DNA sequence: GTCTATATATAGATAGAC
DNA sequence: GTCTATCTATATATAGAC
């Protein structure tokens, strides 16, 4: 692994552990036992490190929802999308837990993030329009309701981990806690899904949890 | 106003404007044109200032939901509770927008906040049990669903302002934006309210907005 | 690419005079 | 209660040698 990559990995780990505002460039360099000068050879400044990590986040988020693209696969995939999304937020919790502050201190990052959020929200809206159309009869969702709903889904998805972090230390947060996040988001859509779909998604989520429990040890950054 | 009170007011204003992590004790003192020593006569340290503000927040939050106490008044009061709550979060947005970080850096504040949140969530759950019982027949809410719902209401209420702050500068956020927050929370409960109640709450919210538009100019801290 | 050394700014906080 | 003066730690960042 090149030093550039090591810097990015160390930054993520330290940001998650101590909070991005308690971790400066010197701490990252100390941690890797390289010099500050070395770090500044690879990155112009601290903000550039965070912006680079944000590009990584964007890719991870894309992969997380890919399986849910309308018209592909079964409704059970909704379960994957929910759990994957919560996992991405967990993986990069330093970012989502300090959004306002991070964006305020870096206009470039703010522009990147905002553009990205608009696209994602529009996509989410389209996906929900597709997923939630079953009950489109009497209780049918207006376009306004759909927008509000999509925003609620977004807010809960992005902030569930932060909600958790307040009642638990990072190293006490477990896979079932992430699953709870998926159910938390699902609850918002529940009134607009039929019983069969809800059952399908529940089953998928429990299957995913079992896989996760077996496969690998739970790492704070993974 | 005593210097102690002026320090608290200045801290709130500066924290909201620049973010609490960009505002140190020296900046607060500079802003008030008093000496750092003076500030440290009134408060042991920066954390004590924030903890003191948190007590103020707790009081404001209590007042915000008081009108919604079960058994008192009409369902339209739900509208007041929603709007009042969003207003409190707006007023102290520096706090809610940096919760994870602030609590991580001050264990005493974390203990205060956590205790408070548990009480508030239990209360919210009780209130929802009361408000949402109308449809308690076929689609009836289980106790589990009620807990998840209460948590969703909490997450959206606390994070709506942060969501807004990312797309708008502080001084561009208007009263209608706060109203949107109330509707955003209402949307979560909507499936469990009857049409008449929804209409009542809508009316109340619009009335409240008109009052607000007339009464006073919009201040960033008020 | 990586290092050492250092410039500069600012943070939190305290001692002691008035 | 309020001030001046100051200590100490740490942050970001750069220059220039290797």
Q: Residue B96 corresponds to which tokens in the numbers above?
A: 């809610």
Angle at the Cα of B190 from the Cα atoms of B189 and B194, rounded to 5 degrees: 120
Q: Which of B187, B191, B192, B193 to mutate to test the interface with A (most CBs of A within 10 A)?
A: B187
Residues in chain B within 8 Å Cβ distance of A152: 152, 156, 184, 187-188
Q: Looking at residue B141, what is its pLDDT?
A: 86
Q: pLDDT tens digit string along A10-42?
A: 999 999 999 999 999 999 999 999 999 999 999
Which of the 8 DSSP states describes residue B132?
Answer: T
- Taking Cα atoms as reference points, which of B61, B60, B193 lies closest to residue B120? B61
Cα(A58)–Cα(A123) distance, rounded to whole angstroms? 14
Angle at the Cα of B125 from the Cα atoms of B133 and A87, rounded to 5 degrees: 115
Residues in Cβ contact with A216 at an 8 Å cutoff, skipping those fewer than 6 apart: A222
Interface of B with A in 110-129 (CB under 8 A): 110, 113-114, 117
Cα(B161)–Cα(B177) distance, rounded to whole angstroms? 9
Angle at the Cα of A222 from the Cα atoms of A190 and A9, rounded to 5 degrees: 130
Residues in chain B within 8 Å Cβ distance of A159: 155, 158-159
Backbone angles phi, psi at B209, to 5 degrees: -60, -45
Residues in chain A within 8 Å Cβ distance of B191: 139, 191-192
Q: Looking at residue A204, what is its pLDDT?
A: 97
User: Residues B134, B194: contact at Cβ < 8 Å?
Assistant: yes
Q: Is any Cβ of chain B less than 8 angstroms from the Cβ of A156? A: yes
C1’ D2 / CA B109, Å:
29
Q: Which of A159, A165, A173 to mutate to test the interface with B (most CBs of B within 10 A)?
A: A159
* Residue contact A110–B166, C-beta within 8 A: yes
Which of the 8 DSSP states describes residue A76?
Answer: T
A177: distance to nearest CA of chain B, Å? 13
Residues in Cβ contact with A175 at an 8 Å cutoff, skipping those fewer than 6 apart: A209, A212, A213, A218
Cα(A169)–Cα(A171) distance, rounded to whole angstroms? 6
C1’ C13 / CA B43, Å:
11
CA atoms within 13 A on the CB side of B26: 1
Higher pLDDT, B172 or A134: B172
Nearest-by-CA chain A residue for B169:
A104
C1’ C15 / CA A163, Å:
43
pLDDT average, residue stretch A50-65: 98
Q: Looking at residue B71, what is its pLDDT?
A: 73
Cα(B1)–Cα(B38) distance, rounded to whole angstroms? 15
Residues in chain A within 8 Å Cβ distance of B183: 148
Cα(A96)–Cα(A158) distance, rounded to whole angstroms? 7
Which of the 8 DSSP states describes residue A71?
Answer: T
Residues 109-168 of chain A with CB under 7 A from strand D are none
Q: Residue A56 corresponds to which tokens in the numbers above?
A: 């990584």
In a 10 Å sphere around its CB, with 0-12 CB exposed, 13-18 middle and 19+ buried, how is residue B136 labelled?
Answer: exposed
Cα(A97)–Cα(B99) distance, rounded to whole angstroms? 8
Q: pLDDT tens digit string along A148-190?
A: 999 999 999 999 999 999 999 999 999 999 999 999 999 999 9
Nearest-by-CA chain B residue for A182:
B148
Q: Looking at residue A195, what is its pLDDT?
A: 92
Q: Looking at residue B18, what is its pLDDT?
A: 98
Q: Looking at residue B132, what is its pLDDT?
A: 86
Confidence check: pLDDT of A222 > 50 = no
Q: pLDDT tens digit string along A95-115?
A: 999 999 999 999 999 999 999
C1’ D3 / CA B102, Å:
31
> Which residue stretches of chain B have pLDDT < 50?
136, 138, 220-222
Interface of B with A in 37-66 (CB under 8 A): none
Q: How far is CA B222 from the centre of its chain?
A: 12
Query: Is any atom of nucleic acid chain D found less than 7 Å from the CB of residue A42?
Result: no
Cα(B140)–Cα(B160) distance, rounded to whole angstroms? 28
Cα(A145)–Cα(A147) distance, rounded to whole angstroms? 5
Q: Which nucleotides on strand D sit less than 7 A from a protein beta carbon? A: 1-6, 10-16
* Residue contact A152–B188, C-beta within 8 A: yes
Q: Looking at residue A71, what is its pLDDT?
A: 73
Query: Is any atom of nucleic acid chain D found less than 7 Å from the CB of residue B71?
Result: no
Q: Looking at residue A73, what is its pLDDT?
A: 80
C1’ D14 / CA B47, Å:
34
A35 φ/ψ sector (left φ>0, alpha ψ -120 to 50, else beta): beta
For nucleotide D3, the protein residue with its alpha carbon nearest to C1' is B35
* Residue contact A99–B166, C-beta within 8 A: yes
At residue A215 the predicted structure's pLDDT band, cuts being 50, 70 and 90, is confident
Count of CB atoms situated within 10 Å of the CB of B24: 13
Query: Is any atom of nucleic acid chain C found less than 7 Å from the CB of residue B45?
Result: yes
* Residue contact B163–A156, C-beta within 8 A: no
Overall size of chain A counted in residues: 222
pTM metric for this prediction? 0.96
């Amino acid at each position: 692994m090149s030093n550039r990559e090591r810097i990015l990995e160390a930054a993520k780990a330290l940001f998650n552990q101590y909070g991005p505002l308690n971790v400066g460039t010197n701490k990252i360099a100390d941690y890797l036992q390289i010099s500050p000068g070395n770090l500044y050879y690879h990155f112009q400044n601290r903000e550039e490190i965070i912006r680079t990590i944000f590009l990584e986040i964007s890719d991870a988020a894309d992969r997380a929802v890919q399986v849910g693209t309308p018209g592909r696969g079964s409704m059970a995939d909704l379960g994957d999308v929910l759990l994957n999304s919560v996992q991405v937020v967990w993986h990069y919790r330093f970012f989502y837990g300090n959004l306002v502050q991070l964006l305020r201190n870096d206009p470039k990052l703010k522009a990147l993030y905002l553009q990205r959020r608009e696209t994602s929200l529009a996509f989410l809206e389209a996906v929900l329009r597709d997923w939630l159309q079953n009950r489109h009869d009497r209780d049918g969702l207006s376009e306004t309701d759909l927008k509000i709903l999509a925003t609620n889904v977004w807010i809960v998805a992005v902030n569930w981990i932060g909600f958790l972090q307040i009642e638990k230390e990072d190293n006490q947060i477990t896979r079932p806690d992430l699953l709870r996040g998926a159910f938390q988001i699902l609850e918002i859509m529940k009134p607009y899904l039929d019983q069969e779909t809800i059952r399908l998604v529940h089953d998928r989520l429990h299957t995913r949890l079992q896989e996760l429990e077996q496969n690998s040890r739970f790492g704070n950054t993974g």
